[in-house]
Structure 1
């Protein structure tokens, strides 16, 4: 079947790039934008099947990733934003990162419409109709899952003008296919959008935002102007650990425990 498609980022023409077996059985066409280099699949009809489990069995790096990002988020917030404000983790999964960041003093909340909240119960924000604003929105390993990235970023901007996120940029030194780039992950069926630096810059321009990147994994869309060099430095885990250690805050663990305990006591007396 021939598909008439345009780039989901910049609306330019796309061309066929390669095919891959998604979920080991669906023969899927991948396209690349002739303008910004963004890669996308054909219409992802297999997503209900792919999300029968929100966290796939291949995502064995979930805990490692959150441990890695914890000091980076902390150092970014303390360097560029109001550390006393509220924050939200978009696509927050089991709530691991939210709990970790609350444990080191950041008032973080979670938004995820697909995954059960295990570790950050009582800190969900899922109603977009409620006008709640947050200083920073984090979205780690979310963008590659987005069927309509521009619409989803518009939803994120309801929460915050500052979006700190991770997604692997498309390699520039090799041809892309499932044999050369692990991040395509057709086995899971959940990765359907793949970004270049140019495509993320197009996204930033569309929303009138500034774009900062470490050139590989970590990126920031923001209304603020910050130091690109400092941003790249803070993306290094060891440097972020140093900054977090110097400016560590008071844990919310005890406060959260007492507040949740009080809430449970009230519910049981109704």
Structure 2
């Protein structure tokens, strides 16, 4: 990463942290300001009051620095599935052994074969929420943003479960297609929308899309580079993968559960991305990466990400606010 880009990315993390701090979201501020310290050590001198702000957040939370403690019997992990660098046992937290790549910063749960098989089958209840819940509203908000702003028409809703957004888009005449892994869910949705409008992930036609929406999906990726590459191959030359997940920005993972303390305890949430690991995964499959936040209280670790290609898409993303107001 060249210096100007590093400076801009560090400033974005700083702005996110200050926005959280300004509304009293000390968990969020701690995540983002700590992330700046971890991911951009060469830029820290540009933020001379960073240590004081971190100390202030910890004091308000009554939370001293909590060093991550690996499990005493954690096995030696294999190489990073994004950059192939060596990994090390990082922390025993939330009943899981987490392993860290010191190359790109990817943090993953070291899972067993039985869980890997379960992940390959998917889940039965994805996005199974009331119609007015934020899980539907935020996806609809951003789909509308890119459909209207970029004139996109071909949309893949990836890993959408029972999301209502597919119905809304198709009723508007948008060429929207859904896909998921859970076979009974896929069959039910094919009966609802027709076999051309919903597919099992492994049977998705080699169609290319303007927009791929992937909300609360990337934390399930057990083979992150392979899964991101799958999406990249289905993206048009001017195209965008947009979604959100809880990001990890350094320190104990126990400090990154401000919105939902069970988020990383969830058995199929196995990958905690950093900005650096997602940028690296994007780079390796020919995409760029950008990151955004919302002003919504209580979601300090939640980040919106864009993996994209094309000059027009890049220009549109560059014109968006780094912190969205009322995105939900």
Question: What are the superposed Cα offsets for residues 177-229 of structure 1, whole Å, 9 maximum, x if unpaired?
Answer: 34652477354301000111111111121112121111551111111232344
CA distance in 2, matches of 1:121, 1:44: 36
Whole-Å separation in 1 of the counterparts to 2:309 and 2:126: 34
Asked whether the equivalents of residues 56 and 188 of structure 1 are also in contact (C-alpha less than 8 Å), the reply is: no
> Against the structure 1 CA distance between its residues 170 and 49, is the aligned structure 2 distance closer, same or farther, given a 3 Å change threshold?
same
The whole-number CA distance in structure 2 between the counterparts of 1:197 and 1:10 is 14
Secondary structure of the 2:319 match is helix
In structure 2, the CA distance between the partners of 1:77 and 1:112, relative to structure 1 (3 Å rule), is same
Shift of 1:142: 0.5
Aligned residue for 2:281, secondary structure, equals helix
| 1:110 corresponding residue in structure 2 | 178
Question: 1:21 deviation in Å?
Answer: 4.8
Q: Secondary structure at the match of 2:193?
A: coil
CA distance in 2, matches of 1:183, 1:72: 26
Q: Distance in 2 between matches of 1:79 and 1:58?
A: 29
Select which of 207, 222, 225 maps to 1:147: 222
The reply on whether 1:176 has 2:252 as its aligned counterpart is yes
Does the Cα contact within 8 Å between 1:145 and 1:193 map onto a contact in 2?
A: yes
Q: Shift of residue 110 of structure 1?
A: 0.3
Task: Tell me the CA shift for residue 163 of structure 1.
Answer: 1.2
Equivalent residue in structure 1 for 2:101, among 20, 33, 41: 33
Relative to structure 1, is the Cα distance of residues 29 and 99 closer, same or farther in structure 2, using a 3 angstrom cutoff?
same
Between stretches 31-40 and 49-58, larger displacement belongs to: 49-58
Q: Tell me the CA shift for residue 135 of structure 1.
A: 1.4
**Structure 1 equivalent of residue 208 of structure 2:** 133
Q: Matched residues in 2 for 1:41 and 1:112: separation? A: 22
Q: Please tell me whether the aligned partners of residues 213 and 232 of structure 1 are also in contact (alpha carbons under 8 angstroms).
A: no
* 1:43, distance to aligned residue in structure 2 (A): 3.0
Q: 1:95, 1:110 within 8 Å by CA — same for their partners in 2?
A: no
TM-score (norm 2): 0.60
1:231 alignment counterpart = 320
| 1:65 aligned residue | 135
- Deviating beyond 6 angstroms after TM superposition, the runs of 4 or more aligned structure 1 residues are 56-62
Q: Separation in 1 of the partners of 2:85 and 2:104? A: 8
Corresponding residue number in structure 2 for 1:258: none
Alignment size in residue pairs = 230
> Displacement, 1:57?
10
CA distance in structure 2 between the aligned counterparts of 1:61 and 1:19, rounded to whole angstroms: 37
Instruction: Write 1 or 2 for the structure with the bigger share of helix.
Output: 2
Which stretches in structure 1 are left out of the alignment for 5+ residues? Answer: 23-27, 242-270
**Following TM superposition, by how much is the alpha carbon of 1:230 offset from its aligned partner in structure 2, in angstroms?**
2.5
Deviation at residue 95 of structure 1 after TM alignment: 3.8
**What is the rounded CA distance, in whole Å, between the counterparts of 1:221 and 1:89 in structure 2?**
15
Query: Cα RMSD over matched residues?
Result: 3.2
Q: TM-score, normalised by structure 1?
A: 0.72
Structure 1 position 140, deviation (Å): 0.8
Rate the CA distance shift 1:30–1:218 in 2: closer, same or farther, 3 A: same
